Amino acid sequence: MRALIIFLLLATSSFQTSQSVRVVDSGYSFSLEAVKTLQKLMETDMSTNPLQTYGGAASLCADPDLPGEFRTLCEKDDADKVFQCLVKIISPIDPCEICANVACTGC
């Protein structure tokens, strides 16, 4: 009975691990949740100064809310490019996809 319980716990944990979504760009792989957090941080960075489109990797890497899995990327020269590409990957192309436009139909 004990072996059955341990087997079920291991099976459940491996199933949950295999269901995680990864976002891959330029040879780097990050969890979808981390990229969503990155997107929010980049949007916050843009909202503090509307004339500035994006503060850059240096300001993101200095932010304590940046997920830890991005810390190794902060040390790379292409961090800014990868950050922008990751957010672009998870951003919808058409704003109607997220019902941002009143003229959208079928939402």
Tens-binned pLDDT, residue by residue, of the chain (107 aa): 555 565 556 555 554 544 578 888 888 889 999 999 999 988 876 555 555 555 688 888 998 999 999 999 999 999 999 998 888 888 876 656 556 556 666 55
| Distances from the Cα of 53 to the Cα of 19, 39, 43, 57, 64, angstroms | 34, 13, 9, 13, 21
**pTM for this structure?**
0.63
Give the pairing type, strands 28-31 and 22-25: antiparallel
Q: Identity (one letter) of the amino acid at 26?
A: S
